[in-house]
Amino acid sequence: MTKRDLIDEIVRLYPAYSRRDAEVIVNSVFESMTEALCRGDRIEIRGFGSFVVKQRLAREGRNPKTGDLVAVASKRVPFFKVGKELKQRVDLGYDLEQGETDSSSV
């Protein structure tokens, strides 16, 4: 699913919102999440998962083309950990339209 697909889904589920309103909402949510991660905050969405910032230490890597050693600086990277409920729903092939599991996978 792309950001555009997400906007289209909001418009489909909530026809009172215009496409522009849905776009502003989605962009605002993503911007708020980005700002929180930049501050080093943790984002937790119950039933979905959590986003945290992890520190990667400096290390020596290799240039894959030449094999030469390259110094890789330490950096902060965003990390997503899937929530238990989402993991189970994906594993069971949860059908969002009908609200039940796919009988062939059970």
Q: What is the pLDDT of residue 95?
A: 61
| CATH class as words, domain 42-106 | few secondary structures
CB-CB contact of 7 with 19 (8 Å): yes
CB-CB contact of 44 with 84 (8 Å): no
Q: How far apart are CA 70 and CA 33, in angstroms?
A: 32
CB-CB contact of 3 with 29 (8 Å): no
Q: What is the pLDDT of residue 3?
A: 96
Q: What is the pLDDT of residue 96?
A: 57
Low-confidence ranges of the chain (pLDDT < 70): 94-106
Q: What is the pLDDT of residue 41?
A: 96
Q: What is the pLDDT of residue 106?
A: 43
Q: What is the pLDDT of residue 93?
A: 85
Domain boundaries, the chain: 1-39, 42-106
List b or e across 55-81, with b for residues whose CB sees 16 or more CB atoms inside 10 angstroms.
eeeeeeeeeeeeeeeeeeeeeeeeeee
Listing from the earlier edge strand, what are the strands of the sheet with 75-82? Answer: 43-45, 49-56, 75-82
